[in-house]
């Protein structure tokens, strides 16, 4: 009696027990190792520094990005990749060095390669292909280093002052710049660090990169959306300063101060979102939106469907793929011909 043995498909292999135990241990070590970083460094800066209040929304949006690409979960296998150990070791080394040197910002940033390595180690290349936008977006959780943030504030103060003076002169109000102070006939407006616009810049970098990851557009359009974060933030801040100067000139100083410090902070974000929406509407007219691609396009590392495997359009012939003698493929063109009557 002949017996047949069923073979388990490659995509249905179970994860080795050692990899399961290792994945659980890595997650536990990550939570314990970065608990002090979150509680003692990140959360206080998110809560007390107004420039980084938006960081509380980074993790929810990263989860939303993963949910938006949820169709990729269907092709994820239970087989991880040991290549994930490389970024895990890099992140662990950076964490150890930064902890020894007492550099909390570097300690916080070291979690990115660790998270990427754990995704690759536990879920494999397909999971990494699914979650890479979410992992990349988590980089907005970290505040800017102190020295770099200070230099950026100074540059934004100077740009905001000069552009606001030019705008006021264009609309007919006499204004001159004395350092970072705008002098008008009615008042003197000091563009201090809190008015530099760095909060809007960081917020809109995160928003524009999130929009570029979320929308279905070509790469050029996505790059333009990301680069537009800088002019949008500057336009919003200059509008705030200009409106305040107009209120000083046309109304009372009390109303101008209230608008400048209270209401303008609330209206800058919706105003900048309107600009971003107008930019997207303009790109819709300038560039044709591509058709939605397969969530797992062909990738030599993770497999997936080739580009020419998409269904043919109506009235369009579909080409038959050629056989690959190296891979042992047998297509319709490589099938043996039938023998004619009388042929050997």
Query: Is 5 a member of any domain?
Result: no
Statement to judge: residues 54 and 133 lie in one domain: yes
**Which residue among 95, 110, 141 closes a domain?**
141
Statement to judge: residues 73 and 102 lie in one domain: yes
Statement to judge: residues 135 and 191 lie in one domain: no
Read off the pLDDT band of 95 (50, 70, 90). very high
pLDDT at 96: 93
* Number of domains into which the chain is organized: 2
Statement to judge: residues 109 and 228 lie in one domain: no
Question: What is the distance between the alpha carbons of residues 116 and 134, in angstroms, rounded to a whole number?
Answer: 10
Statement to judge: residues 281 and 175 lie in one domain: yes
> What's the half-sphere exposure (Cβ side, CA atoms, 13 Å) at 206?
26
Query: Is 7 a member of any domain?
Result: no
> What's the half-sphere exposure (Cβ side, CA atoms, 13 Å) at 93?
6
pLDDT digits (tens, 9 = 90+) for 278-290: 888 888 887 765 5
pLDDT at 327: 43
pLDDT at 207: 80
Statement to judge: residues 137 and 174 lie in one domain: no
Query: Is 318 a member of any domain?
Result: no
Read off the pLDDT band of 199 (50, 70, 90). confident
What is the domain range of residue 271? 147-286
Identify the residue whose tokens are 């410090």. Answer: 261
Statement to judge: residues 62 and 122 lie in one domain: yes
pLDDT digits (tens, 9 = 90+) for 144-167: 887 788 788 888 888 888 888 999
Tokens of 178: 């004395």
Statement to judge: residues 172 and 137 lie in one domain: no
Give the SS3 label for residue 293.
Answer: coil
Statement to judge: residues 158 and 135 lie in one domain: no
| Element of type H or E holding 258 | helix 253-258
pLDDT digits (tens, 9 = 90+) for 202-212: 878 888 888 88
**Which residue among 119, 141, 163 closes a domain?**
141
Statement to judge: residues 176 and 281 lie in one domain: yes
Q: Which of 274, 273, 268 is nearest to 195 (CA)?
A: 268
Statement to judge: residues 134 and 207 lie in one domain: no
Query: Is 6 a member of any domain?
Result: no
Lowest mean pLDDT among 67-76, 81-90, 249-258, 292-301: 292-301
Statement to judge: residues 102 and 156 lie in one domain: no
**Which residue among 247, 271, 286 closes a domain?**
286
Residues 6+ apart with CB under 8 A from 318: 311, 312
Query: Is 280 a member of any domain?
Result: yes
Query: Is 89 a member of any domain?
Result: yes
Query: Is 277 a member of any domain?
Result: yes
Read off the pLDDT band of 213 (50, 70, 90). confident
Query: Is 90 a member of any domain?
Result: yes
């Amino acid at each position: 009696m002949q017996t047949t043995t069923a073979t388990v498909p490659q995509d249905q292999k179970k994860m080795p027990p050692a990899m399961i135990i290792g994945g659980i241990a890595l997650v536990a070590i990550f939570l314990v190792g970065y608990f002090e970083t979150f509680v003692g460094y990140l959360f206080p800066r998110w809560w007390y520094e107004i420039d980084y209040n938006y960081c509380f929304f980074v993790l929810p949006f990263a989860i939303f990005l993963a949910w938006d690409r949820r169709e990729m979960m269907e092709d994820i296998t239970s087989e991880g990749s040991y290549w994930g150990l490389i970024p895990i070791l890099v992140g662990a080394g950076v964490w150890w060095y930064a902890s020894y040197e007492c550099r909390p910002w570097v300690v916080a940033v070291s979690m990115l390669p660790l998270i990427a390595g754990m995704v690759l180690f536990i879920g494999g290349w397909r999971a990494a292909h699914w979650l890479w936008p979410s992992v990349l977006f988590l980089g907005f959780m970290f505040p800017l280093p102190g020295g770099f943030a200070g230099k950026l504030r100074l540059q934004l103060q100077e740009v905001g002052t000069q552009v606001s003076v030019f705008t006021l002169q264009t609309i007919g109000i006499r204004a001159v710049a004395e350092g970072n102070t705008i002098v008008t006939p009615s008042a003197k407006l000091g563009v201090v660090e809190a008015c530099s616009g760095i909060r809007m810049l960081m917020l809109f970098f995160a928003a524009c990169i999130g929009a570029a990851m979320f929308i279905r557009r070509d790469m050029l359009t996505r790059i333009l959306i990301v680069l537009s974060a800088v002019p949008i933030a500057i336009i919003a801040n200059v509008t705030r300063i200009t409106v305040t100067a107009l209120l000083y000139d046309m109304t009372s100083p009390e109303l101008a101060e209230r608008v400048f410090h209270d209401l303008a902070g609330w209206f800058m974000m919706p105003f900048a979102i309107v600009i971003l929406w107008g930019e997207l509407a303009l790109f819709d007219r300038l560039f044709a939106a591509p058709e939605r691609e397969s969530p797992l396009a062909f990738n030599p590392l993770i497999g997936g469907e080739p580009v020419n495997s998409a269904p043919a359009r109506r009235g369009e012939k579909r080409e038959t793929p050629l056989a690959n003698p190296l891979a042992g493929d047998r297509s319709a063109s490589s099938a043996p011909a039938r023998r004619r009557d009388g042929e050997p």
